[in-house]
Amino acid sequence: DAGVIQSPRHEVTEMGQEVTLRCKPISGHDYLFWYRQTMMRGLELLIYFNNNVPIDDSGMPEDRFSAKMPNASFSTLKIQPSEPRDSAVYFCASSFGGTGIGELFFGEGSRLTVL
Amino acid sequence: LAKTTQPISMDSYEGQEVNITCSHNNIATNDYITWYQQFPSQGPRFIIQGYKTKVTNEVASLFIPADRKSSTLSLPRVSLSDTAVYYCLVGAILTGGGNKLTFGTGTQLKVEL
């Protein structure tokens, strides 16, 4: 398997623009997680899905952030409008719940810079 | 939420054993303890996971005392390539754990010749 695939790897945009980050989880995994990493706050869990359904979005910083998972092989994290403080590396991770253990497989991340 | 406390950084030399301890006083009954490794510009990578006592795999050992309020990751004979940030993660969404899978601040391990 190719692992968790994220796109774009790098994104530079201007304040106020819409940003869409994409994630393809590992086939067969039924959990999908979005994390944000910054120097100041470390790795923060934003939201996670189980079988395409959002389970907990309490980590989403504000209404400007939204995430969807229209099917088992695709998820998006959208920021509209973007702000400079949204600059971070956004990671997507997936996991297979059948093991009951919860090893997370991470993508390589999307580095977002908002000017 | 489970708050984990780890040393911010550690230094070691090649060939030595490194032990990184994580404190997690409010671990919940269903929570597992998982350690991840992260290299610059990469996502975290799973190292080892345990619930209690000792777990060993091909790269590390994990020691968990009976009260489960702390855990120690042991890396035998480290090499330069083990230089990375190591995260202790407490939680277990998939088994109804009491804590979400939120990472702590991590430990920057630097291995020198």
**Residue B97 pLDDT:** 52
**Residue B64 pLDDT:** 97
**Residue B81 pLDDT:** 96
> Using CA atoms, how far apart are residues A70 and A45, in angstroms rounded to an integer?
20
Q: Chain A contact for B34, CB < 8 A?
A: yes
**Residue B88 pLDDT:** 92
**Residue B59 pLDDT:** 94
Q: Chain B contact for A100, CB < 8 A?
A: yes
> Using CA atoms, how far apart are residues B62 and B34, in angstroms rounded to an integer?
9
Name residue B42's amino acid: Q
pLDDT, greater one: A99 or A27: A27
Is B105's CB within 8 Å of A42's CB?
yes
pLDDT tens digits, one per residue of A31-70? 999 999 998 888 988 999 999 999 889 889 889 999 999 9
In chain B, what percentage of residues exceed pLDDT 90? 73
**Residue A61 pLDDT:** 87
pLDDT tens digits, one per residue of B53-108? 999 999 999 999 999 999 999 999 999 999 999 999 888 766 555 557 778 789 99
How close is the nearest chain B Cα to the Cα of A81, in Å? 26
Q: Which residues contact A14 (CB under 8 A, 6 or more apart)?
A: A82, A114, A115
B101 closest CB neighbour out of A4, A45, A91: A45
How close is the nearest chain B Cα to the Cα of A13, in Å? 20
pLDDT at residue A12 tops 70: yes
Reference A35, options B22, B91, B97; nearest CA is B91
> Which residue reads 């099917």 in tokens?
A71
DSSP-derived 3-state class of residue A3: coil
**Residue B96 pLDDT:** 54
pLDDT at residue B16 tops 70: yes
Length reported for chain A:
115
pLDDT tens digits, one per residue of A90-114? 999 999 876 556 689 999 999 999 9
**Residue B94 pLDDT:** 60
> Using CA atoms, how far apart are residues A34 and A23, in angstroms rounded to an integer?
9
Torsion angle defined by CA atoms of residues B3, B103, B9 and B23, in that order, rounded to the nearest 10 degrees: 30
> Using CA atoms, how far apart are residues B100 and B98, in angstroms rounded to an integer?
7
pLDDT tens digits, one per residue of B19-53? 999 999 988 888 889 999 999 989 999 999 999 99
**Residue A98 pLDDT:** 62
**Residue A102 pLDDT:** 67
**The B107-112 sheet, strands edge to edge:** B9-13, B107-112, B84-91, B32-38, B45-50
Q: What are the chain A neighbours of B45 within 8 Å (beta carbons)?
A: 106
Beta strand ranges found along B27-83 (DSSP E): 32-38, 45-50, 53-56, 61-64, 70-75
